[in-house]
Amino acid sequence: MNTETEKHDLAITRTFDAPAAEVWKIWSDPGYVKRWWGPDIFTCPLARIDFREGGTSLVCMNAPRFGDMYSTWRYTKIEPMKLIEFIHNLADSDGNALDPVALGMPSDFPRDQRQTVTLTPVGDDRTEMTVMEYGWTEGRMMDMARMGMEQCMNKMAAILAGPPPGTD
């Protein structure tokens, strides 16, 4: 009998009306990250981005009901304008990884979760972006992760359609 829970990968794809260089900034520029990180009810008061292989970014999303929620993105592979691979963890305000269950998350919330972002140009001025989140258990947390990333992508689309950060 297999007692191990089956893991699934979550793939979310969106095509943006922007060239790959602009979509790349969504992930690499802290001014952009602060405008999209977190589902609709969240703001992002902190985005310390160390965007390089071996670097670790610390981001915070905040909602009055939930307070500050920190995450780290430890970059394992970066191919400019094409691929970002990182390990996602929930963290404290100093960037130390925390056990999701100890934070009140369900036991199926992944720790050391590998994620990839792939950019594919579509013509000269559009870009398809696929975000892959690996190792989810089918269920509520995976559904919430999908909803949260889709809401983040909606924010990204609005950013890419508007003026650059700091000019609006």
pLDDT tens readout for residues 77-100: 999 999 999 999 999 999 999 999
SS3 of the chain: CCCCCCEEEEEEEEEECCCHHHHHHHHHCHHHHHHHCCCCCCEEEEEECCCCCCCEEEEEEEECCCEEEEEEEEEEEEECCCEEEEEEEEECCCCCECCCHHHCCCCCCCCCEEEEEEEEEECCCEEEEEEEEEEEECCHHHHHHHHHHHHHHHHHHHHHHCCCCCCC
pLDDT tens readout for residues 137-152: 888 889 999 999 999 9
Q: Domain 7-161 adopts which CATH fold? A: Alpha-D-Glucose-1,6-Bisphosphate; Chain A, domain 4 (3.30.530)
Percent of the chain scoring above 70 in pLDDT: 95
pLDDT band at 12; cut points 50, 70, 90 = very high
pTM of the complete model: 0.91
Q: What is the pLDDT of residue 73?
A: 98
